[in-house]
Amino acid sequence: MTTLTGASLVVDDQLVDGAALVVRDGRIEAIVSTDAVRPAADVVDLTGHIVVPGLIDLHVHGGGGHSFDTPDPAAHREILAFHARHGVTTMQASLVSAHPEELDRQLDALSDSVGAGLFGVHLEGPYLAVSQCGAHDPAALRPPSAGEADRLLARGNLVRMVTVAPELDGIPAFVRRLTDAGVVVAAGHSEARGPELAAAVASGLSHLTHLWSCQSALVREGPWRVPGLLEESLASNHLIGEIIADGHHLPPALIEIARRCLGDRLVVVSDATAGAGMPEGYRYRLGVIDCEVASGVGMVVGQDAFGGSTTPLDGMLRHLHQTLGWPLPEAVAATSTRPARVLGLGDRKGRLAAAYDADLTVLTPALTVAATLRAGEWIHR
């Protein structure tokens, strides 16, 4: 048993002082008054710090100079360690679009790395629109082939999320097969309009990949205004939407629009690449696309286009609270509680509560990460 005392605790929508966390066998046993804690070897004094539920990142391509598309378990471990230093206790490995043989090779390698913080794989493609490819190889993009959903599902619980363009041929049946098996399907990198999105939603699509990045928006057809995927998504009463809150991808006004439209269905993702944590000018690849760290963000080399993010999730937590003025519990919800629900883990991760996993992030008053625990074990300190 370990007792963490002295820190402020983010408990749901409250910042609680004068309480201690009792951790036993990898779970939170109780939250008790500090007055009830007696000095002992297993008491850790965190006075001056803030404890929040471990951050959960749905969309991670890499970090610290490594990418998840590298077929090297050592590189995968380095990525997990990098993000643990930034307070992340659970994540998905996101893969950009690749040709079938290459994608199979990447999935084979990642199958050995799932666990210990890596929940599963997010396929960001290749079922995307060429016109909205962003930093994806347009030559690798395609509709799903017959039987492809079954081939992905044959890998067990490896693939947990798939991003698709709803307008592609065969998408409704593909979505239905995946969602019936518990895979989260998202719309993104798409030219979809209302009817195409509606058909995918009717088949089980529930999520939106990085709002405002590579998706159709309002157009005029004669005197008529036709909403795109963006507006249809923001007007939805049930879809969950991601934003990249790194201070580069979206200005404050757009983040506020998403916040007001989606409320507690808004989640924050890092979209972190191998460039995360690397110096200015560092070169990396997203699939076959050359990118570099430029002015604190990932850019496609030679283009005025983003190439993913270089900001880990704790940096986005700070941006929400310190720059945009979000209450700290709301920023924590967007980076932990709500992502846990997306992954179906809301009954055991993403909250400081009895019986929940002791996945914890310890923050300094400046909201930098002082320590990270997964299942009650210190993985960064």
Secondary structure string (H, E, C) spanning 117-161: CEEEEEEECCCCCHHHCCCCCHHHCCCCCCCHHHHHHCCCCCEEE
Q: Per the residue annotation, which of 69, 137, 246, 271 is the catalytic one?
A: 271
pLDDT at 339: 99
Hunting for tokens 């967007």 — which residue is that? 334
Q: CA 287 to CA 264: how far, in whole Å? A: 33
Query: What are the DSSP calls for 231-255, one per residue?
Result: HHHHH-SS-EEEE--SSSSS-HHHH
CATH of span 2-52+354-380: 2.30.40.10
Residue of 24, 8, 7 whose CA lies nearest to 16 = 8
Q: Is residue 18 exposed (0-12), middle (13-18) or buried (19+ Cβ within 10 Å)? A: exposed
Does residue 357 have an active-site annotation? no
Is residue 371 helix, strand or coil? Answer: strand
Q: Which residues contact 368 (CB under 8 A, 6 or more apart)?
A: 314, 318
C-beta separation of 68 from 94 below 8 A: yes
Cα separations (Å) of 190 from 196, 212, 267? 10, 11, 20
Q: CA 224 to CA 335: how far, in whole Å? A: 38
pLDDT at 36: 84
C-beta separation of 308 from 273 below 8 A: yes
pLDDT at 37: 86
**Sequence-ordered alpha helix ranges (H) in the chain:** 73-84, 100-111, 148-153, 171-180, 194-202, 229-235, 252-262, 313-318, 328-332, 338-342
Residue of 55, 57, 128 whose CA lies nearest to 309 = 57
pLDDT at 116: 86
Residue of 363, 311, 299, 301 whose CA lies nearest to 63 = 311
Q: 0.75 exceeded by the pTM? A: yes
- Convert the pLDDT of each residue in 26-58 to its tens digit: 999 999 999 888 777 699 999 999 999 999 999
| 231 annotated ligand-binding residue | no
pLDDT at 38: 79
Class of 54-343 in CATH? alpha beta
Residue of 239, 233, 273, 339 whose CA lies nearest to 136 = 273
Interhelix angle 73-84/100-111, rounded to 10 degrees, is: 70
Q: Is residue 41 exposed (0-12), middle (13-18) or buried (19+ Cβ within 10 Å)? A: exposed
C-beta separation of 319 from 247 below 8 A: yes
Hunting for tokens 């519990």 — which residue is that? 329
Hunting for tokens 């795109």 — which residue is that? 228
Per-residue pLDDT of the chain (381 residues; tens, 9 = 90+): 899 999 999 999 999 999 999 999 999 999 999 988 877 769 999 999 999 999 999 999 999 999 999 999 999 999 999 999 999 999 999 999 999 999 999 999 999 999 989 999 999 999 999 999 999 999 999 999 989 999 999 999 999 999 999 999 999 999 999 999 999 999 999 999 999 999 999 999 999 999 999 999 999 999 999 999 999 999 999 999 999 999 999 999 999 999 999 999 999 999 999 999 999 999 999 999 999 999 999 999 999 899 999 999 999 999 999 999 999 999 999 999 999 999 999 999 999 999 999 999 999 999 999 999 999 999 999
| 207 annotated ligand-binding residue | no
Residue of 340, 304, 265, 368 whose CA lies nearest to 56 = 340
Cα separations (Å) of 380 from 82, 104, 365, 369, 373? 10, 32, 18, 9, 7
Cβ neighbours of 228 (radius 10 Å): 18
C-beta separation of 240 from 268 below 8 A: no
| 210 annotated ligand-binding residue | yes
C-beta separation of 246 from 319 below 8 A: yes
All structural domains of the chain with their residue ranges? 2-52+354-380, 54-343
